[in-house]
Structures are given as C-alpha cells and as structure tokens.
C-alpha cells in the first residue's frame, strides 16, 4: 500500500476522483483543477471491500477489494479539500515505484 506521507504520481491521465470512499460521490477533476501530471501527497491509504458490477452481459455484482488513497488538493478558488482515488483493485499492491494504476 502507498505509505502515508509519501508522494505518488498518476500513471494515467484519467482517474476516478471521489469526495469520500467507498461511499462518496464522483468529483469532476477538471472542475477542481486537478492536474494528473503533478504528484499527490498521500494523506492516508486503506483497503476496503466494495460491490462492483461486471461490465458483461450478465451485469453480475461481485465484491472487489480496493486500495484507496486520500489526498488533499487546493482548487482554483483557493479552497483545500480531501479527495480519494483508487490505487489498486483485487491485487497485492506493494508499492515500489510510487505510481497509481
């Protein structure tokens, strides 16, 4: 898991951002001015089990194990808030390179 008080770089330019995790609402990264080219400071990381719907014909629901990362971000208006993103799903997520999947 990503260690608390460490820096992480985003691996992709599109990540789901939430105002809480696992029961939060999605947040528009553009609306808060989040730059996926800049690292984030890990406030906390934790494991959680969540229901997830498979993207198949059956649309079956399964339980997935997520690692979530909490980070603080200052939006264009100068307000700072904590946000969450998933770091990994259903894998052993020991961090060597410090990059979000």
In this prediction the pTM is 0.76
pLDDT in tens, 4-35: 999 999 888 888 899 998 888 999 999 999 99
Burial (0-12, 13-18, 19+ Cβ within 10 Å), 17:
buried
Res 93: pLDDT: 46
Domain boundaries, the chain: 7-91
pLDDT in tens, 57-94: 777 877 778 888 999 999 999 999 999 998 876 655 44
Nearest to 85 by CA among 38, 40, 37, 33: 40
């Amino acid at each position: 898991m990503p260690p608390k008080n460490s820096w992480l770089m985003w691996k992709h330019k599109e990540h789901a951002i939430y105002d809480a995790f696992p029961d939060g609402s999605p947040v528009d990264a553009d609306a808060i001015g989040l730059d996926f080219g800049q690292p984030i400071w890990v406030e906390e990381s934790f494991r959680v089990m969540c229901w997830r719907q498979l993207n198949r014909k059956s649309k079956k629901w399964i339980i997935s194990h997520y690692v979530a990362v909490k980070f603080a971000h200052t939006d264009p208006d100068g307000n700072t808030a904590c946000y969450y993103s998933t770091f990994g799903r259903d894998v052993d997520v020991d961090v060597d390179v410090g990059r979000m999947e």
